[in-house]
């Protein structure tokens, strides 16, 4: 549902000068199938060993999944905001609203 919500917000997100993607601890092959099945319009990355999730402190205690978290990184590569309360049905709108609050630039 979270990815579907982001897909449905793609037109609004494309107005900003940003790059966005999803990431999962699932293997690349499983993510590829998920990507195709949902007809996503943004990259879906695989962190199958959980290294990146662990570095961000969002790897679950089982070490097999990441917690649902959105990390906003500014143009200088610094973390601008961490959103740990993700509404999977409305997450695309949450992301758009947060990008506006953070005053991320619009495309020219």
The 10s digit of each residue's pLDDT in 5-60 is 999 999 999 999 999 999 999 999 999 999 999 999 999 999 999 999 999 999 98
Which pLDDT score, from 0 to 100, does residue 9 have? 95
Which pLDDT score, from 0 to 100, does residue 88 have? 86
Gap between the Cα atoms of 21 and 71, Å rounded: 10
CATH class of 2-101: alpha beta
Which pLDDT score, from 0 to 100, does residue 107 have? 94
Which pLDDT score, from 0 to 100, does residue 31 have? 95
Gap between the Cα atoms of 24 and 45, Å rounded: 6
Gap between the Cα atoms of 10 and 35, Å rounded: 15
Other residues' Cβ atoms within 10 Å of the Cβ of residue 62? 8
Region 1-5 average pLDDT? 90
Contact 5, 92 (CB under 8 A): yes
The 10s digit of each residue's pLDDT in 89-108 is 999 999 999 999 999 999 98
């Amino acid at each position: 549902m979270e990815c579907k919500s982001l897909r449905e917000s793609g037109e609004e997100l494309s107005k900003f000068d940003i790059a966005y993607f999803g990431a999962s601890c699932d293997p690349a092959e499983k993510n590829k199938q998920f990507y195709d099945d949902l007809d996503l319009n943004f990259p879906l990355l695989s962190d199958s060993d959980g290294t990146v999730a662990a570095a961000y402190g969002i790897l679950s205690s089982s070490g097999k999944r990441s917690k649902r978290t959105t990390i906003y990184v500014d143009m200088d590569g610094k973390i601008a905001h961490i959103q740990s309360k993700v509404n999977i049905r409305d997450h695309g709108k949450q992301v758009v609203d947060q990008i506006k609050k953070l005053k991320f630039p619009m495309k020219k």
